[in-house]
């Protein structure tokens, strides 16, 4: 029964959210004013098939990550979010867990920066949400699942990334991310998802294990990055990282100096949208 009620709640809240409120175009004929399943999939990073099965009561036991992603995409209030967790047979994450909820202020920032690539990560560098310009720049992340959504995992075990690196810059990035992840484990020692991520990284990456065991300290900071875009070519941008105190959210913003060729290329990439193949 809980699963059926879960699906009904998702459908009800999906119908409530107009696409323009979620930063999506509202064009075309629509049978309902709310989000289509495809749009909810784009916003949450959950496949259309799985959303369909959840709504129809054919999928059972959604994970914490799935419920949190749906709550975020559907812009639920705190009370609604807690209710959705209960309907999914889960406890709403407590203070001992890495925060993954977008605050209303962060959501408003995303809503307003419609022409600027912005992504929000949690304290483990797991991608929570990315706006359409970010997807156009870095590759559509809606198909990224599991550990692939984590920036530390991609830095050590990923492939096909669009950011250009030298051997030195890649090593510096890896060292900074390991240090950041170590700091997160100190703040959230009882977070099981974080513990699994570290264990899997230690198992699958010898270099991660070496850096982790060294007790390295530091943090991932803002930098200039060159991105090789498959249609617009190379573009060099400022990547600023803003960390929100109290929720440990990392807001990553890419900008170009006005009037430069990089600014023109970034505008072209934003215009192209997410039609370019994922990187």
Structure confidence by residue, pLDDT tens digits, 86-127 = 999 888 777 788 998 888 888 888 888 888 999 999 999 999
Is residue 276 predicted with pLDDT exceeding 50? no
Distances (CA, A) of 266 to 20, 164, 233, 263: 23, 16, 10, 5
Q: Which tokens in the block code for residue 266?
A: 């970034």
pLDDT tens figures, 14-26: 999 887 776 666 6
248 CB contacts (<8 Å, ≥6 apart)? 98, 99, 122, 123, 184, 187
Which letter does DSSP use for residue 93 in this model? Answer: P
Range of weakest confidence among 24-28, 73-77, 78-82, 225-229: 24-28
Is residue 2 predicted with pLDDT exceeding 60? no
For residue 221, the Cα-to-chain-centroid distance in whole angstroms is 18
CA within 13 Å, CB half, 102: 27
CATH code for the domain defined by 104-275:
3.30.450.180
The answer to whether the predicted template modeling score (pTM) of the entire model surpasses 0.75 is yes
Domains of the chain, residue spans: 2-87, 104-275
CATH code for the domain defined by 2-87:
1.10.260.40
pLDDT value for 164: 94
What rounded mean pLDDT belongs to the chain? 88
3-state secondary structure 44-92: HCCCHHHHHHHHCCCCCCCCHHHHHHHHHHCCCCHHHHHHHHHHCCCCC
d(CA 175, CA 169): 10
Q: How many residues does the chain have?
A: 279
């Amino acid at each position: 029964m809980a699963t059926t009620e879960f699906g009904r709640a998702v459908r009800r809240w999906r119908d409530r959210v107009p696409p323009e409120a979620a930063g999506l175009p509202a064009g075309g004929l629509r049978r309902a004013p709310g989000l289509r399943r495809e749009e909810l999939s784009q916003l949450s990073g959950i496949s259309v098939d799985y959303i369909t099965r959840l709504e129809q009561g054919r999928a059972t036991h959604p994970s914490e990550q799935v419920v949190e992603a749906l709550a975020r995409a559907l812009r639920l209030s705190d009370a609604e979010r807690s209710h959705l967790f209960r309907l999914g047979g889960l406890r709403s994450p407590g203070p001992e867990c890495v925060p993954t909820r977008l605050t209303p202020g962060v959501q408003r920032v995303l809503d307003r920066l419609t022409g600027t690539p912005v992504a929000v990560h949690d304290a483990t560098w797991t991608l929570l949400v990315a706006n359409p310009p970010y997807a156009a720049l870095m590759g559509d992340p809606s198909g990224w699942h599991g550990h692939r959504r984590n920036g530390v995992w991609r830095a050590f075990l990923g492939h096909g990334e669009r950011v250009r690196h030298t051997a030195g810059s890649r090593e510096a990035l890896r060292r900074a991310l390991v240090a950041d992840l170590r700091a997160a484990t100190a703040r959230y020692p009882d977070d099981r998802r974080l513990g699994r991520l570290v264990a899997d990284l230690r198992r699958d990456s010898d270099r991660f294990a070496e850096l982790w065991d060294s007790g390295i300290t530091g943090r991932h900071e803002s930098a200039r990055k060159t991105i090789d875009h498959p249609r617009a070519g190379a573009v060099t941008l400022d990547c600023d990282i803003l960390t929100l105190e109290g929720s440990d959210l990392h807001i990553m913003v890419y900008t170009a100096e006005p009037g430069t060729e990089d600014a023109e290329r970034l505008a072209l990439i934003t215009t192209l949208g997410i039609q370019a193949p994922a990187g």
